[in-house]
Structure 1
Amino acid sequence: MTLKILKENLFDCSIKAGLYLITCLPNQKHYVGQSSYVTRRLNAHKTQLKRGCHPNLIMQKDFHFYGESSFVYQKLLFGTSLSKTTRENFETLILLTLPPNLRYNVYSNWRKRESSLNPFFGKKHTLKARKEQSLSKIGKPSNFVNHIQTNQVKQLISSLNKGTTNKDRRKPLYIDSIFYESISEASQKTGLGRRLIRDRCHQQTERFQNYKWA
């Protein structure tokens, strides 16, 4: 089978959701994944590998050793009607057909993996990385551009804010033991999204214990 044939999609390209396969041809080692936007996810893998920052260190090492031309990215698209759980089940079935030494995935079942197997478990973005993330978003349109809130949503927001001042709505918090007057201030200084900060402050898990309301 030639490299050209391997690079062809196995299913209709108009379908976005499904599974994908990344293969290192010299050692026939594979990485299997699923996504609701396969093309976008594959492009993210390619970018990370080229920049040398892919979270899968073994695959990144092989990428440096064998070179970009030795890696093939295939789309295994099954249909947009499949739920995420179904796609994950397909992913598990494919992984179980591969010997552990021929797969880059360090787990065969995503839902049963240990937290420590997550490449980002216990890690935090540096202040420099946070600022770079923030700068990369400058000039890009918001996801809410051209979206109009319904009257029902407006009334709900109004009722929630009724009788409160801006000062009341500013909730102080700590991130990495650093005090911030509000989520807006924390977001501006760390480069993290306000919603992400709020969600992490509400989390009770050990992973986000460095995010706390004051």
Structure 2
Amino acid sequence: MSTITPTPAVKDRPADGPTRRGRSPLASLGGQNLSLIGALVLVLGLFGVLNDNYLSVSNMQVIAEAATITGLLAVVQTAVIICGGLDISVGSQAGVASVVSAMAFTATGSNALAGIAAAVGVGLLVGILNGVIIVYGRVNPTIATLAGLAAYKGLAQLVSDGRAQGYVLNNDVFVFLGRGKIAGLPVMVWILIVVALAVHLLLKYTDIGRNIYAIGGN
């Protein structure tokens, strides 16, 4: 009687090319990102040569603080772009949110928490409105948010009657957020770091993030 000898297990062969585990940090960044980082280093070096004070710690803090609002919008816009969309109206959304925040701050007797809550609430509302128009109205995201760019800017002018709103320099919370420092870095920079890290973790380690990549890929 013949016996059947089990076939020895074949070990999985490594895929062609470098494996994900063996990739260097530079390779994981990608060629386009490396070129952008190289261009940034070149620009910093050029301005540093032209102006001795440009690369000073104080000047870097000022530049970082000035870039935080744009950075925050860029971080959350990243998720939109990965999803395959584009939101052109984020600047106007920030504008109308800031106007409503200042008005709520003044109306509640200089209550900073009310002002912050109003800004977050307005941001959520206009974001949901954009989503409803795009998904249920089946409007192209670029067209829908291009209309929102003008509409939200006009809304800010309308609710404020075209006048400056609020005065926050006498409020400790807003002064700390705008001018305070933690471990030598402006508070606004820390907020940007925390938001960027949170979005990174959301996109990389959660089902929501995987779904966003899947929607953008198909």
**Scaled by the length of structure 2, what TM-score is found?**
0.22
Instruction: Find the structure with the greater CA-based Rg.
Output: 2
Flag the structure with higher helix content. Answer: 2
Higher-RCO chain (CA-CA 8 Å, sequence separation at least 6): 2
